[in-house]
Amino acid sequence: MRFLMMHRVDESDPQSWNPSQEFIGKMGAFIQEAAEKDILITAEGVHPTEKGSLVRKARGAAIRVTDGPFAEAKEVIGGFALINAADRAEAVEFAKRYVELFDQEIEVEIRQVVEFDEIPVQD
């Protein structure tokens, strides 16, 4: 099964966007190990919201685009990883190892990816 892990960080914490060399080394080793074990499919960090946009559409309304930064959001997505795991429990254990790498407050949301063969066929 594939799981998407999205980590949230405090947008105002400079450490969120300027990682130390020590952190980069630890994360690089973690990523390499996970890739070699065929757990990690891909992982990336993202830029702060000032380089992003939100595209919203309410039911029956026009599409609205808001350029960042997003003042209403304190915690924002700082990056993501797509992993292979036998089940959610295994994905949670991987996420625990992942968050241990950080010296700052972090939250990781784990969501199972819907596979094509899981989509119900409509007659």
- Tens-of-pLDDT digits for all 123 residues of the chain? 999 999 999 988 888 889 999 999 999 999 999 999 999 999 999 999 999 999 999 999 999 999 988 777 788 999 999 999 999 999 999 999 999 999 989 999 999 999 888 778 887
> Which phi and psi angles does 67 have, rounded to 5°?
-80, 150
Distance, CA of 57 to CA of 64 (rounded, Å)? 6
> CB-hemisphere CA count at 13 Å for 28?
7
Whole-number Å distance between alpha carbons of 8 and 44? 13
Residues whose CB is less than 8 angstroms from the CB of residue 28 and which lie 6 or more positions away in sequence, other chains included = none
Q: What pLDDT does 51 receive?
A: 94
Residue with tokens 């939100």: 54
Q: Is 0.75 topped by the overall pTM?
A: yes
Helix (H) or strand (E) holding 12: none
